Structure 1
């Protein structure tokens, strides 16, 4: 039979008074309840003025522990990780987001515990559960979500968390269980608009997108390009191909444009060069910029010069400027995403009743040397 909450909280008070202070994770083990339940009980008792709560620790009112804490220091910082920051392994884009978030949290006197998610489906959940067991009372997370199925599975357990949570660079599907969760991301539709509009302004009418297939950002970019290119009357032909390994259904491998024929992808540099010649594409948008630099090198090996034969805009601007041909690139506001997400989290932790907020920040276009006006005397590459 489940123990009534008042009885359980009475037992918590007895333990805290007898010991002076006790970790919430230890309370959970002794009471045989989840850490989430124990934390909720401690918060309710602290709200009622019956004990004091430091992060991850419950203290007796008579313990005198408060006098031992420096007046200028955050009790969260003194007691453990106040905020868990979860980002994917080997993802430089999200590391920049992490640095933006950390600046805000440091200024708020909040200690940050960084958790790096290894590759593999469902890797975030055990990391988050461990962080909560260690006492984290807030979560900033950028899940990898390489496929739609992984995203759906991630929605289910994230919705069950009872700590303030902000998603970074992930946009919950409308009507999903995470639709009302605080989130901050780049407006990737606008970023793709900047890329296409720049190429169209240079006279290009036949454009291909080579995009990865391993993240929600990649899926958003492919959908945005298809809609934008399909709606622009100036564009005569377009196609979407995969530039990475295929991890979704074969039918999602390419979005064909006018006269595209069968789906294409994934492609390497030689495959992209063949497609440029076959369809007479004069410009390409390449996601992300590391892949873009590699594809530009491979195009050169196949006799296609950038920008003389093909203008290129990279999506992401981590290393795009450092190629032998500096790449014009769309630069999502990476640090700003982290900063705004951290500000939302601090607000949520200090004012739990405020309405949830979904923020989209606008990317910028950095013009360099990889895109030029279409030559009127141009022959097929």
Structure 2
């Protein structure tokens, strides 16, 4: 199914706002569409005052104002990563690009130079980028590894624990007792976010709920486990199940096998590699509500349900999880909104404290969690009691 135009343009905005000027050809490659399409999108966004268009380049609209003064410390730095804070995030990840934008704001305001590294989707891609940054003299590291499965996460623990410069993990919480347990980290409390979604639906009278979720990141796996525990513990919830949200929602590529999907009662097993027939599952389970992770998958699933005669919220109430583009659908989706930009800001502030605080007063390791919020937009409604 073709990606909605507004969704694609929101992804363009996320990339440009997080990185600054970006070549149109690079945007086309990252979003897997033609250069002609991206050029047309950039022109429309420029007309709407949301971007600036240059010679083959898309620029953030902030550049239309007076030039932002560049601190002298940044202009005086040598080439390469020497003296810079290295930031490593996965490619094609709009959620973490918002986190990156928050970190960038804090670091630039402090006069700290940034060296951004985008990790491709191949397994173990972060390690050579970090090693290159270290060789170039980076003084601090903010990193959000992809960690598509548990095995790839475990393989990163050893070398990442030995980086040797102040490091803060963003939106990642290592396994308790692992080599990274004592590493600074800042992330969202996704258990609480999942609780918000279930509590909202239960308060509206829903008793049969489906979670269609990804399984290819630490966030996805946390949401799946949290939903299973929360739904099982809520006496109001009569029936629940978990399925994969898209063909690309399973772990990989990478070492190890995909983690097992959550099962419940006689819930049908998700078929990996195929899109879930959510409309059929809702009918089979008698479910009246669904929690959908993440936003892109949520919008696509809502479209697919509509094609099968299931309208949101008339026939099924929906809460999305991520809130990157949930509000842009033809039916704006109520969504759990992790504090993405605030995560980046808090991580950058913690790293600056490690880098600039008085010697010998760095303090204990900090594992910070920020609470998500619920953005209510009307895609979930109260259950209408059945007539006798």
Give TM-score, length-normalised by structure 2: 0.75
Counting matched residue pairs gives 307
Aligned residue number for residue 63 of structure 2: none
Instruction: Determine which of 279, 285, 288 is the counterpart of 1:279.
Output: 285
Structure 2: runs of 5+ lacking an equivalent: 1-70
Whole-Å Cα distance in 2 between the matches of residues 370 and 342 of structure 1?
35
Find the aligned partners of 2:99 and 2:387 in 1 and give their Cα distance: 42
Alignment partner, residue 354 of structure 1: 363
Partners of 1:83 and 1:133 in 2: CA distance: 13
Matches of 1:312 and 1:96 in 2, distance apart?
24
Which segment is superposed worse, 319-328 or 76-85?
76-85
Deviation at residue 156 of structure 1 after TM alignment: 1.4
Paired residue for 1:263? 269
How far off is 1:74 after superposition? 3.2
Q: Contact 1:239/1:254 (CA < 8 Å) preserved in 2?
A: no
In 2 relative to 1, CA 280–250 (structure 1 residues): closer, same or farther, beyond 3 Å?
Answer: farther
Instruction: Please name the residue that 1:341 is paired with.
Output: 347
Matches within 5 A, 1:186-201: 186-201=188-203
Aligned to 1:366: 375
Closer, same or farther: CA 302–137 of 1 in aligned 2, 3 Å: same
Q: CA separation of 1:152/1:269 partners in 2, compared to 1, >3 Å: closer, same or farther?
A: closer
- Superposed CA RMSD in Å reads 2.0
**Cα distance in 2 for residues equivalent to 1:114 and 1:198:** 38
Take 2:274 and 2:307, find their aligned partners in 1: how far apart are those partners?
12
Q: 1:247 aligned to 2:246?
A: no
| Contact 1:292/1:314 (8 A) holds in 2 | yes
State the partner residue of 2:19. none
CA drift at 1:260: 2.2
Q: Taking structure 1 as the reference length, what is the TM-score of the superposition?
A: 0.77
Q: 2 CA distance for matches of 1:378 and 1:163?
A: 65
Deviation of 1:267 (Å): 8.0
What is the Cα deviation at residue 314 of structure 1? Answer: 0.2
CA distance in 1, matches of 2:257, 2:314: 33
User: Aligned with 1:158: secondary structure?
Assistant: helix
Equivalent residues of 2:88, 2:142 under 8 A apart: yes
Flag the structure with larger Rg: 1
Q: Please give the per-residue CA displacement for 1:194-229, whole angstroms capped at 9, x wherever unaligned.
A: 000000000000001011111000000000000000
Which of 129, 135, 141 does residue 127 from structure 1 map onto? 129
Contact 1:147-1:215 within 8 A present in 2 as well = yes
Q: Choose which of 85, 95, 98 in structure 2 pairs with 1:83.
A: 85
- What is residue 318 of structure 1 aligned with on the other side? 324
2:4 matched residue in structure 1: none
Q: 1:127 to 1:252 in 2, by over 3 A?
A: closer
Matched, 1:327 2:333: yes
Match for residue 178 of structure 1 among 163, 177, 180 = 180
For 2:77 and 2:356, locate their aligned partners in 1 and report how far apart those are by CA, in whole Å.
Answer: 18
Q: Judging changes above 3 Å, is the alpha-carbon distance between structure 1 residues 260 and 78 closer, same or farther for their aligned structure 2 residues?
A: same
Matched, 1:306 2:312: yes
